Protein backbone atom coordinates (compact mmCIF):
# COMPACT_ATOMS: atom_id res chain seq x y z
CA UNK A 1 0.00 0.00 0.00
CA UNK A 2 1.20 3.54 -0.67
CA UNK A 3 -0.31 6.88 0.14
CA UNK A 4 1.86 8.67 -2.43
CA UNK A 5 -0.66 8.57 -5.25
CA UNK A 6 -1.83 11.26 -7.63
CA UNK A 7 -4.95 12.64 -5.97
CA UNK A 8 -3.39 13.43 -2.58
CA UNK A 9 -0.38 14.99 -4.26
CA UNK A 10 -2.58 17.11 -6.51
CA UNK A 11 -4.78 18.22 -3.61
CA UNK A 12 -1.74 19.19 -1.56
CA UNK A 13 -0.43 21.24 -4.47
CA UNK A 14 -3.72 23.12 -4.60
CA UNK A 15 -3.76 23.53 -0.82
CA UNK A 16 -0.31 25.10 -0.78
CA UNK A 17 -1.69 27.91 -2.94
CA UNK A 18 -4.52 28.86 -0.60
CA UNK A 19 -3.81 27.43 2.89
CA UNK A 20 -0.86 28.32 5.11
CA UNK A 21 1.53 25.40 4.73
CA UNK A 22 -1.22 23.56 2.88
CA UNK A 23 -3.01 22.61 6.12
CA UNK A 24 -5.22 24.04 8.87
CA UNK A 25 -3.35 22.43 11.77
CA UNK A 26 0.42 22.04 11.75
CA UNK A 27 0.53 18.36 12.67
CA UNK A 28 -1.49 17.48 9.55
CA UNK A 29 1.45 18.38 7.31
CA UNK A 30 2.98 14.97 8.03
CA UNK A 31 4.27 12.85 6.43
CA UNK A 32 6.87 14.36 4.14
CA UNK A 33 6.87 15.24 1.33
CA UNK A 34 3.09 15.60 1.55
CA UNK A 35 0.17 14.21 3.57
CA UNK A 36 -2.55 11.97 2.26
CA UNK A 37 -5.99 13.57 1.99
CA UNK A 38 -8.99 11.75 3.46
CA UNK A 39 -12.10 11.19 1.38
CA UNK A 40 -14.28 9.56 4.03
CA UNK A 41 -14.45 7.58 7.24
CA UNK A 42 -15.77 4.04 7.43
CA UNK A 43 -16.32 2.68 10.96
CA UNK A 44 -12.85 2.13 12.35
CA UNK A 45 -11.18 2.99 9.04
CA UNK A 46 -10.52 5.97 6.81
CA UNK A 47 -10.28 6.03 3.02
CA UNK A 48 -7.91 8.47 1.33
CA UNK A 49 -8.38 10.45 -1.86
CA UNK A 50 -6.79 7.64 -3.88
CA UNK A 51 -9.01 4.91 -2.46
CA UNK A 52 -6.48 3.46 0.01
CA UNK A 53 -8.10 2.19 3.21
CA UNK A 54 -6.41 2.40 6.61
CA UNK A 55 -7.20 1.17 10.08
CA UNK A 56 -7.64 4.47 11.94
CA UNK A 57 -6.32 4.90 15.47
CA UNK A 58 -6.09 8.68 15.24
CA UNK A 59 -9.88 8.93 15.60
CA UNK A 60 -9.80 12.65 14.87
CA UNK A 61 -7.16 13.02 17.65
CA UNK A 62 -9.60 11.61 20.17
CA UNK A 63 -13.16 12.92 19.66
CA UNK A 64 -14.48 9.88 17.79
CA UNK A 65 -15.25 7.54 20.67
CA UNK A 66 -17.81 5.72 18.51
CA UNK A 67 -15.80 5.71 15.28
CA UNK A 68 -16.64 7.34 11.97
CA UNK A 69 -20.18 6.05 11.57
CA UNK A 70 -22.67 7.81 13.82
CA UNK A 71 -25.24 5.44 15.36
CA UNK A 72 -28.78 6.05 14.24
CA UNK A 73 -29.82 8.02 17.32
CA UNK A 74 -26.79 10.33 17.01
CA UNK A 75 -27.26 10.87 13.29
CA UNK A 76 -30.98 11.48 13.75
CA UNK A 77 -30.40 14.08 16.46
CA UNK A 78 -27.82 15.90 14.34
CA UNK A 79 -30.07 15.88 11.29
CA UNK A 80 -33.05 17.06 13.34
CA UNK A 81 -31.18 20.03 14.77
CA UNK A 82 -29.72 20.91 11.37
CA UNK A 83 -33.17 20.81 9.79
CA UNK A 84 -34.51 23.26 12.38
CA UNK A 85 -31.89 25.84 11.49
CA UNK A 86 -28.12 26.27 11.79
CA UNK A 87 -28.01 28.52 14.91
CA UNK A 88 -29.97 31.25 16.65
CA UNK A 89 -27.93 33.50 18.92
CA UNK A 90 -30.26 32.40 21.73
CA UNK A 91 -30.36 29.44 24.16
CA UNK A 92 -31.82 26.05 23.24
CA UNK A 93 -33.03 23.13 25.34
CA UNK A 94 -30.42 20.70 24.05
CA UNK A 95 -27.54 22.66 25.62
CA UNK A 96 -29.32 22.41 28.98
CA UNK A 97 -29.75 18.66 28.53
CA UNK A 98 -26.06 18.11 27.73
CA UNK A 99 -25.01 20.21 30.72
CA UNK A 100 -27.36 18.18 32.95
CA UNK A 101 -25.86 14.92 31.65
CA UNK A 102 -22.30 16.04 32.35
CA UNK A 103 -23.19 17.37 35.80
CA UNK A 104 -24.96 14.10 36.62
CA UNK A 105 -21.90 11.99 35.81
CA UNK A 106 -18.83 14.06 36.75
CA UNK A 107 -18.69 14.49 40.52
CA UNK A 108 -16.76 17.79 40.52
CA UNK A 109 -19.18 19.51 38.13
CA UNK A 110 -22.37 21.35 39.09
CA UNK A 111 -22.35 24.07 36.45
CA UNK A 112 -20.85 24.43 32.97
CA UNK A 113 -20.08 27.03 30.35
CA UNK A 114 -19.86 25.64 26.80
CA UNK A 115 -17.33 27.05 24.37
CA UNK A 116 -16.07 26.03 20.93
CA UNK A 117 -12.79 24.17 21.34
CA UNK A 118 -10.46 22.60 23.87
CA UNK A 119 -8.17 25.61 23.52
CA UNK A 120 -11.04 27.97 24.31
CA UNK A 121 -11.94 25.83 27.31
CA UNK A 122 -8.47 26.04 28.83
CA UNK A 123 -8.19 29.77 28.01
CA UNK A 124 -11.50 30.38 29.78
CA UNK A 125 -10.59 28.20 32.77
CA UNK A 126 -7.31 30.06 33.29
CA UNK A 127 -9.03 33.45 32.96
CA UNK A 128 -11.65 32.36 35.48
CA UNK A 129 -9.01 31.15 37.93
CA UNK A 130 -7.16 34.44 37.64
CA UNK A 131 -10.36 36.41 38.05
CA UNK A 132 -11.44 34.48 41.13
CA UNK A 133 -8.08 34.56 42.91
CA UNK A 134 -6.90 38.00 41.75
CA UNK A 135 -3.54 36.43 40.90
CA UNK A 136 -1.66 36.16 37.61
CA UNK A 137 0.75 33.23 37.71
CA UNK A 138 -0.15 29.69 36.68
CA UNK A 139 1.73 26.41 37.07
CA UNK A 140 1.84 24.03 34.11
CA UNK A 141 3.67 20.80 33.32
CA UNK A 142 6.70 20.87 31.04
CA UNK A 143 5.67 19.39 27.70
CA UNK A 144 1.98 19.54 28.54
CA UNK A 145 -0.31 20.93 25.88
CA UNK A 146 -3.38 23.01 26.61
CA UNK A 147 -4.18 24.25 23.15
CA UNK A 148 -2.83 27.16 21.17
CA UNK A 149 -3.15 29.75 23.94
CA UNK A 150 -0.56 32.36 24.85
CA UNK A 151 -0.51 31.51 28.56
CA UNK A 152 0.70 27.95 28.00
CA UNK A 153 2.84 28.13 24.86
CA UNK A 154 5.77 28.36 27.24
CA UNK A 155 8.92 26.29 27.67
CA UNK A 156 11.86 26.18 30.06
CA UNK A 157 11.43 25.92 33.80
CA UNK A 158 9.90 27.97 36.59
CA UNK A 159 13.09 30.06 36.92
CA UNK A 160 13.48 30.83 33.20
CA UNK A 161 10.13 30.48 31.41
CA UNK A 162 10.08 31.72 27.84
CA UNK A 163 7.72 31.57 24.86
CA UNK A 164 7.79 28.31 22.90
CA UNK A 165 6.79 30.11 19.70
CA UNK A 166 7.19 33.50 18.15
CA UNK A 167 4.18 35.73 18.64
CA UNK A 168 3.88 35.18 22.40
CA UNK A 169 5.20 38.15 24.42
CA UNK A 170 7.95 37.34 26.88
CA UNK A 171 5.91 39.16 29.53
CA UNK A 172 3.17 36.54 29.13
CA UNK A 173 5.64 33.70 29.60
CA UNK A 174 6.90 35.19 32.87
CA UNK A 175 3.47 34.54 34.40
CA UNK A 176 3.70 30.80 33.61
CA UNK A 177 5.74 28.43 35.77
CA UNK A 178 6.59 25.11 34.04
CA UNK A 179 7.50 22.15 36.25
CA UNK A 180 8.25 18.49 35.40
CA UNK A 181 5.25 16.17 35.64
CA UNK A 182 5.46 13.60 38.45
CA UNK A 183 8.06 15.63 40.38
CA UNK A 184 6.73 16.48 43.84
CA UNK A 185 9.87 18.33 44.90
CA UNK A 186 9.83 20.65 41.89
CA UNK A 187 6.25 21.79 42.39
CA UNK A 188 6.79 22.13 46.15
CA UNK A 189 9.69 24.54 45.44
CA UNK A 190 7.58 26.61 43.07
CA UNK A 191 4.85 27.04 45.67
CA UNK A 192 7.41 27.91 48.33
CA UNK A 193 8.67 30.75 46.15
CA UNK A 194 5.47 31.91 44.44
CA UNK A 195 2.59 30.51 46.48
CA UNK A 196 0.84 33.84 47.05
CA UNK A 197 1.08 34.71 43.34
CA UNK A 198 -0.28 31.46 41.85
CA UNK A 199 -3.82 31.50 40.51
CA UNK A 200 -3.97 27.85 39.51
CA UNK A 201 -2.22 24.66 38.58
CA UNK A 202 -3.30 23.58 35.10
CA UNK A 203 -2.61 19.88 34.57
CA UNK A 204 -3.87 16.89 32.61
CA UNK A 205 -4.66 13.82 34.72
CA UNK A 206 -2.38 11.98 32.27
CA UNK A 207 0.03 13.88 30.02
CA UNK A 208 -1.89 13.50 26.78
CA UNK A 209 0.44 15.03 24.23
CA UNK A 210 3.48 13.31 25.65
CA UNK A 211 2.69 9.65 25.14
CA UNK A 212 -0.12 9.52 27.70
CA UNK A 213 2.14 9.22 30.73
CA UNK A 214 0.35 8.18 33.89
CA UNK A 215 0.85 9.97 37.20
CA UNK A 216 2.94 8.31 39.86
CA UNK A 217 1.03 7.39 43.00
CA UNK A 218 -0.02 10.48 44.95
CA UNK A 219 1.15 13.15 42.51
CA UNK A 220 -2.23 14.79 41.98
CA UNK A 221 -2.91 14.61 45.71
CA UNK A 222 0.24 16.68 46.18
CA UNK A 223 -1.09 19.24 43.70
CA UNK A 224 -4.46 19.29 45.49
CA UNK A 225 -2.79 19.87 48.86
CA UNK A 226 -0.54 22.66 47.59
CA UNK A 227 -3.45 24.45 45.96
CA UNK A 228 -5.52 24.21 49.13
CA UNK A 229 -2.68 25.44 51.34
CA UNK A 230 -1.92 28.41 49.09
CA UNK A 231 -5.36 29.52 47.95
CA UNK A 232 -4.85 28.46 44.33
CA UNK A 233 -7.26 26.49 42.15
CA UNK A 234 -6.56 23.05 40.74
CA UNK A 235 -7.66 22.93 37.10
CA UNK A 236 -7.80 19.61 35.25
CA UNK A 237 -7.47 19.68 31.49
CA UNK A 238 -9.64 16.73 30.49
CA UNK A 239 -9.95 17.76 26.84
CA UNK A 240 -8.35 14.43 25.82
CA UNK A 241 -9.16 12.26 28.85
CA UNK A 242 -12.71 13.47 29.44
CA UNK A 243 -15.25 10.71 28.68
CA UNK A 244 -12.36 8.63 27.31
CA UNK A 245 -10.50 7.55 30.48
CA UNK A 246 -12.61 6.56 33.46
CA UNK A 247 -15.78 6.33 31.41
CA UNK A 248 -18.51 8.84 32.15
CA UNK A 249 -16.76 9.89 35.36
CA UNK A 250 -13.69 11.00 33.37
CA UNK A 251 -10.07 10.49 34.42
CA UNK A 252 -10.48 12.42 37.65
CA UNK A 253 -12.64 9.56 38.94
CA UNK A 254 -9.74 7.12 38.51
CA UNK A 255 -7.19 9.12 40.51
CA UNK A 256 -9.64 10.08 43.27
CA UNK A 257 -8.70 13.75 43.23
CA UNK A 258 -11.39 16.37 42.67
CA UNK A 259 -10.34 19.50 40.79
CA UNK A 260 -11.82 22.96 41.27
CA UNK A 261 -12.38 23.42 37.54
CA UNK A 262 -12.31 21.05 34.57
CA UNK A 263 -11.76 21.88 30.90
CA UNK A 264 -13.57 19.54 28.51
CA UNK A 265 -13.50 19.09 24.73
CA UNK A 266 -13.40 16.44 22.02
CA UNK A 267 -15.82 13.63 23.01
CA UNK A 268 -18.27 15.94 24.82
CA UNK A 269 -19.16 17.31 21.37
CA UNK A 270 -19.57 13.96 19.65
CA UNK A 271 -17.08 14.79 16.90
CA UNK A 272 -18.16 18.40 16.38
CA UNK A 273 -16.26 21.53 17.55
CA UNK A 274 -16.72 21.95 21.30
CA UNK A 275 -15.22 22.86 24.62
CA UNK A 276 -16.56 23.43 28.13
CA UNK A 277 -15.52 24.59 31.58
CA UNK A 278 -17.17 22.86 34.51
CA UNK A 279 -17.01 22.98 38.28
CA UNK A 280 -18.91 23.99 41.41
CA UNK A 281 -21.54 26.66 40.85
CA UNK A 282 -19.88 29.19 43.13
CA UNK A 283 -16.80 29.13 40.87
CA UNK A 284 -18.28 28.80 37.38
CA UNK A 285 -20.82 31.51 38.15
CA UNK A 286 -17.80 33.80 38.16
CA UNK A 287 -18.29 34.07 34.41
CA UNK A 288 -20.42 36.93 33.16
CA UNK A 289 -23.32 37.67 33.35
CA UNK A 290 -23.46 36.46 36.97
CA UNK A 291 -19.80 37.21 37.73
CA UNK A 292 -17.08 39.61 36.66
CA UNK A 293 -14.97 37.36 34.38
CA UNK A 294 -15.95 38.04 30.79
CA UNK A 295 -16.58 35.06 28.55
CA UNK A 296 -18.72 34.82 25.41
CA UNK A 297 -18.86 33.15 21.99
CA UNK A 298 -21.11 33.37 18.96
CA UNK A 299 -21.10 29.62 18.36
CA UNK A 300 -20.96 28.50 22.01
CA UNK A 301 -23.62 25.90 22.80
CA UNK A 302 -24.22 25.32 19.10
CA UNK A 303 -27.35 23.13 18.89
CA UNK A 304 -25.91 20.64 16.38
CA UNK A 305 -22.83 20.10 18.53
CA UNK A 306 -24.88 19.85 21.71
CA UNK A 307 -27.16 17.24 20.14
CA UNK A 308 -24.21 15.19 18.88
CA UNK A 309 -22.49 15.31 22.26
CA UNK A 310 -25.61 14.41 24.22
CA UNK A 311 -26.56 11.44 22.06
CA UNK A 312 -22.97 10.20 21.89
CA UNK A 313 -22.71 10.13 25.68
CA UNK A 314 -26.14 8.55 26.04
CA UNK A 315 -25.14 5.86 23.56
CA UNK A 316 -21.87 5.27 25.42
CA UNK A 317 -23.83 4.79 28.63
CA UNK A 318 -26.57 2.56 27.21
CA UNK A 319 -24.41 0.32 24.98
CA UNK A 320 -21.50 -0.42 27.33
CA UNK A 321 -19.16 1.33 24.91
CA UNK A 322 -16.42 1.67 27.51
CA UNK A 323 -16.29 -2.07 28.21
CA UNK A 324 -15.71 -2.71 24.50
CA UNK A 325 -13.09 -0.04 23.77
CA UNK A 326 -11.20 -0.58 27.01
CA UNK A 327 -10.97 -4.31 26.41
CA UNK A 328 -9.56 -3.74 22.94
CA UNK A 329 -7.15 -1.18 24.37
CA UNK A 330 -5.94 -3.72 26.94
CA UNK A 331 -5.47 -6.33 24.20
CA UNK A 332 -3.48 -3.93 22.04
CA UNK A 333 -1.19 -2.83 24.85
CA UNK A 334 -0.69 -6.40 26.07
CA UNK A 335 0.04 -7.63 22.54
CA UNK A 336 2.47 -4.80 21.89
CA UNK A 337 4.22 -5.49 25.20
CA UNK A 338 4.67 -9.14 24.18
CA UNK A 339 6.12 -8.12 20.80
CA UNK A 340 8.55 -5.71 22.42
CA UNK A 341 9.75 -8.35 24.86
CA UNK A 342 10.92 -10.37 21.86
CA UNK A 343 12.28 -7.64 19.60
CA UNK A 344 12.81 -4.35 21.47
CA UNK A 345 12.59 -4.76 25.27
CA UNK A 346 13.97 -1.26 25.76
CA UNK A 347 10.78 0.30 24.31
CA UNK A 348 7.82 1.18 26.54
CA UNK A 349 4.10 0.75 25.93
CA UNK A 350 2.02 3.50 27.55
CA UNK A 351 -1.67 4.36 27.88
CA UNK A 352 -4.74 3.12 29.65
CA UNK A 353 -8.38 2.31 28.89
CA UNK A 354 -8.83 2.90 25.13
CA UNK A 355 -5.59 4.84 24.65
CA UNK A 356 -2.21 3.40 23.65
CA UNK A 357 1.27 4.40 22.52
CA UNK A 358 4.74 2.96 22.09
CA UNK A 359 7.66 5.11 23.23
CA UNK A 360 11.07 4.23 21.81
CA UNK A 361 12.85 4.51 25.15
CA UNK A 362 16.49 3.46 25.25
CA UNK A 363 16.98 1.41 28.42
CA UNK A 364 15.67 -1.84 29.86
CA UNK A 365 16.33 -3.80 33.05
CA UNK A 366 17.94 -7.22 32.67
CA UNK A 367 15.01 -9.00 34.30
CA UNK A 368 11.49 -8.17 33.06
CA UNK A 369 9.70 -10.69 35.26
CA UNK A 370 6.56 -9.18 36.85
CA UNK A 371 6.74 -6.09 34.61
CA UNK A 372 3.51 -4.29 33.72
CA UNK A 373 1.89 -6.51 31.12
CA UNK A 374 -0.48 -4.11 29.33
CA UNK A 375 1.25 -0.74 29.35
CA UNK A 376 3.21 1.22 31.93
CA UNK A 377 1.20 1.73 35.13
CA UNK A 378 3.91 3.65 37.06
CA UNK A 379 3.95 0.69 39.44
CA UNK A 380 6.89 1.10 41.81
CA UNK A 381 7.23 -2.70 42.06
CA UNK A 382 7.66 -3.05 38.29
CA UNK A 383 11.27 -3.73 37.25
CA UNK A 384 10.87 -1.11 34.51
CA UNK A 385 9.82 1.63 36.94
CA UNK A 386 13.24 3.27 36.95
CA UNK A 387 13.45 3.55 33.16
CA UNK A 388 9.86 4.08 32.00
CA UNK A 389 8.97 7.69 31.05
CA UNK A 390 7.81 9.90 33.92
CA UNK A 391 7.67 13.27 32.18
CA UNK A 392 7.96 15.02 28.84
CA UNK A 393 11.75 15.11 29.05
CA UNK A 394 11.88 11.32 29.16
CA UNK A 395 9.76 11.11 26.00
CA UNK A 396 11.87 13.72 24.24
CA UNK A 397 14.99 11.70 25.07
CA UNK A 398 13.55 8.63 23.33
CA UNK A 399 14.20 7.81 19.67
CA UNK A 400 11.74 10.30 18.25
CA UNK A 401 13.18 10.36 14.73
CA UNK A 402 13.20 6.57 14.41
CA UNK A 403 9.58 6.56 15.55
CA UNK A 404 8.56 9.17 13.02
CA UNK A 405 10.70 8.30 9.99
CA UNK A 406 10.64 4.51 10.17
CA UNK A 407 7.98 3.15 12.50
CA UNK A 408 5.12 5.52 11.61
CA UNK A 409 5.80 5.32 7.89
CA UNK A 410 6.06 1.53 7.86
CA UNK A 411 2.87 1.13 9.92
CA UNK A 412 1.13 3.33 7.37
CA UNK A 413 2.45 1.10 4.59
CA UNK A 414 0.90 -1.78 6.53
CA UNK A 415 -2.42 0.06 6.38
CA UNK A 416 -2.44 1.33 9.99
CA UNK A 417 -2.87 5.08 10.52
CA UNK A 418 -1.29 6.37 13.75
CA UNK A 419 -0.69 9.88 15.05
CA UNK A 420 2.43 11.02 13.17
CA UNK A 421 4.88 11.57 16.02
CA UNK A 422 6.01 9.91 19.23
CA UNK A 423 4.19 12.38 21.46
CA UNK A 424 0.47 12.19 20.69
CA UNK A 425 -1.40 9.02 21.66
CA UNK A 426 -3.65 6.73 19.64
CA UNK A 427 -7.27 5.86 20.36
CA UNK A 428 -9.54 2.86 20.02
CA UNK A 429 -13.11 3.53 18.84
CA UNK A 430 -16.32 1.56 19.33
CA UNK A 431 -16.26 0.64 15.64
CA UNK A 432 -13.00 -1.31 16.08
CA UNK A 433 -13.20 -5.04 16.71
CA UNK A 434 -11.10 -8.08 17.58
CA UNK A 435 -10.12 -8.61 13.94
CA UNK A 436 -8.76 -5.07 13.78
CA UNK A 437 -6.65 -5.69 16.88
CA UNK A 438 -5.24 -8.92 15.44
CA UNK A 439 -4.42 -7.19 12.16
CA UNK A 440 -2.75 -4.33 14.01
CA UNK A 441 -0.61 -6.60 16.18
CA UNK A 442 0.50 -8.62 13.17
CA UNK A 443 1.55 -5.42 11.41
CA UNK A 444 3.21 -4.17 14.60
CA UNK A 445 5.33 -7.30 14.89
CA UNK A 446 6.43 -7.11 11.26
CA UNK A 447 7.43 -3.48 11.60
CA UNK A 448 9.09 -3.62 15.03
CA UNK A 449 11.08 -6.73 14.14
CA UNK A 450 12.51 -4.91 11.12
CA UNK A 451 13.56 -1.66 12.79
For residue 179, the domain's CATH number is: 3.40.640.10
Residues whose CB falls within 8 Å of the CB of residue 263, separated by 6 or more in sequence, listed in order: 118, 121, 122, 124, 125, 146, 235, 236, 237, 238, 239, 275, 276, 277
Distance CA 26, CA 28 (A): 5
Catalytic residues: 145, 237, 266
Residues 127 and 60 in one domain: no
Residues 311 and 388 in one domain: no
Task: Decide which of 287, 318, 349 is a domain's last residue.
Answer: 318
Q: What DSSP state is assigned to residue 197?
A: G
Which residue range is the domain that position 357 belongs to?
A: 6-68+321-450
Residues whose CB falls within 8 Å of the CB of residue 442, separated by 6 or more in sequence, listed in order: none
Residues 208 and 328 in one domain: no
In a domain, 422, yes or no: yes
3-state class (DSSP) for residue 85: coil
Residues 153 and 96 in one domain: yes
Please count the structural domains in the chain.
2
Residues 283 and 388 in one domain: no
Instruction: State the pLDDT at residue 5.
Output: 64
Distance CA 106, CA 181 (A): 24
Residues whose CB falls within 8 Å of the CB of residue 147, separated by 6 or more in sequence, listed in order: 117, 118, 119, 120, 121, 122, 123, 239
Task: Decide which of 273, 300, 318 is a domain's last residue.
Answer: 318
In a domain, 91, yes or no: yes
In a domain, 381, yes or no: yes
Residues 288 and 357 in one domain: no
Residues 355 and 439 in one domain: yes
Which residues pair with residue 138 across a beta bridge?
176, 200
Instruction: State the pLDDT at residue 95.
Output: 97
Residues 401 and 282 in one domain: no
In a domain, 1, yes or no: no
In a domain, 356, yes or no: yes
- The pTM of this model reads 0.96
Residues 251 and 339 in one domain: no
Distance CA 379, CA 258 (A): 22
Residues 271 and 228 in one domain: yes
Residues 133 and 266 in one domain: yes
Hey, CA dihedral for 120, 123, 125, 128, is it positive or negative? negative
Segment-wise mean pLDDT, segments of 10 residues, the chain, 451 residues: 73 96 91 89 96 97 97 96 95 98 98 98 98 98 93 94 95 96 97 97 95 96 98 98 98 96 98 98 98 97 98 97 98 98 96 98 91 94 94 95 95 96 96 98 98 92
Residues 346 and 242 in one domain: no
Residues whose CB falls within 8 Å of the CB of residue 231, separated by 6 or more in sequence, listed in order: 133, 196
By CB atoms closer than 10 A (0-12, 13-18, 19+), residue 7 is: middle
Task: Decide which of 290, 318, 346 is a domain's last residue.
Answer: 318
Instruction: State the pLDDT at residue 33.
Output: 85
Instruction: State the pLDDT at residue 31.
Output: 78
Amino acid sequence: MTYMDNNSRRLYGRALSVLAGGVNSSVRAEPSPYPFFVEKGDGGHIVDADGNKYLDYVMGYGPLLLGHDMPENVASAVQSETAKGPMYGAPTEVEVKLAEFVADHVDSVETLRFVNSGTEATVSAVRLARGITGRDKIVVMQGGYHGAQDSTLVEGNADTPEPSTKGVPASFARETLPVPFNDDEAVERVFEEHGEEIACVLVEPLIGNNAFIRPVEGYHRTLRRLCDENGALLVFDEVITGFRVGGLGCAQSTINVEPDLTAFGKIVGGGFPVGAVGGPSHLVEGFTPTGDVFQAGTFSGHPVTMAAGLETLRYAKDKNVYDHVNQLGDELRAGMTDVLEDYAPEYTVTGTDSVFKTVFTRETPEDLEDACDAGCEQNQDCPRYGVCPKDAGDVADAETERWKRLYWTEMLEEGVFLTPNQFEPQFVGYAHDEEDVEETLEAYERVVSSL
